Amino acid sequence: MNAVADTEETPPKKRTFGIVVLAGGLLVAGAAGGFLLMQSGLLPTMINKPMEATPRGTSGAFVPVDPILVSLGPAAANRHLSFRAQLEVPKEHAAAVTEMMPRFVDVLNGYLRAVDVREFDDPLGLIRMRGQMLRRIQMMAGDGRVDDLLVMEFVLN
């Protein structure tokens, strides 16, 4: 058995230590290089840059959605949801979108009544619900008529 023990070699510890030192040195050099690129302005960044105006911000109109009061049912800790929103639309479509408001309110009312009450407690729930409501309205309004849904009030009581 001594012959077997003598033939097994233990890896040299110096090699492992050298690899760790080399990796650490490369990490520090990479971080320093990235810092210098950012400071020199050679690498584009979004930090401390003012936001550029988008055409949507200047040419849009806001169409208010009629307020909605939804009964959440007996399973909910809060019994009612008060919801108000506005639709961001291109100015040329504001009148057409306003005429469709009863349909939008109907769809939003039905959607909000069908939402699982646990969704209201989830921190990301409002973001998901907003996306679902916007998609439903966009499908009803048609391509390019509704850009965004802005939630003005979302109160559970």
Element spanning 149, H or E: strand 148-156
- Mean pLDDT of the region 54-64: 71
CATH code, domain with 98: 3.30.479.30
pTM: 0.61
* Integer-rounded Cα radius of gyration of the chain: 29
Quick one: CA dihedral 74, 78, 80, 83, positive or negative? negative
Clarify whether residues 97 and 140 are in a common domain.
yes
Clarify whether residues 123 and 138 are in a common domain.
yes
Clarify whether residues 104 and 139 are in a common domain.
yes
Residue 97 inside a domain? The answer is yes
The answer, yes or no, to whether residue 155 has pLDDT greater than 80, is yes
pLDDT digits (tens, 9 = 90+) for 19-38: 888 888 888 888 877 776 66
The answer, yes or no, to whether residue 56 has pLDDT greater than 50, is no
List the domain range (segments joined by +) for residue 41. Answer: 11-49
Residue 117 inside a domain? The answer is yes
Say what the pLDDT of residue 6 is.
57
Clarify whether residues 43 and 60 are in a common domain.
no
Clarify whether residues 75 and 116 are in a common domain.
yes
Say what the pLDDT of residue 38 is.
64
* Higher-scoring residue by pLDDT: 82, 9: 82
Say what the pLDDT of residue 22 is.
84
Lowest average pLDDT, out of 5-9, 18-22, 51-55, 84-88, goes to 51-55
- CB-based contact 69:82 (threshold 8 Å): yes
The rounded mean pLDDT for the chain is: 82
Clarify whether residues 137 and 75 are in a common domain.
yes
Clarify whether residues 24 and 83 are in a common domain.
no
Clarify whether residues 63 and 93 are in a common domain.
yes
The answer, yes or no, to whether residue 91 has pLDDT greater than 70, is yes
Clarify whether residues 95 and 18 are in a common domain.
no
Say what the pLDDT of residue 66 is.
94
How many domains is the chain partitioned into structurally? Answer: 2
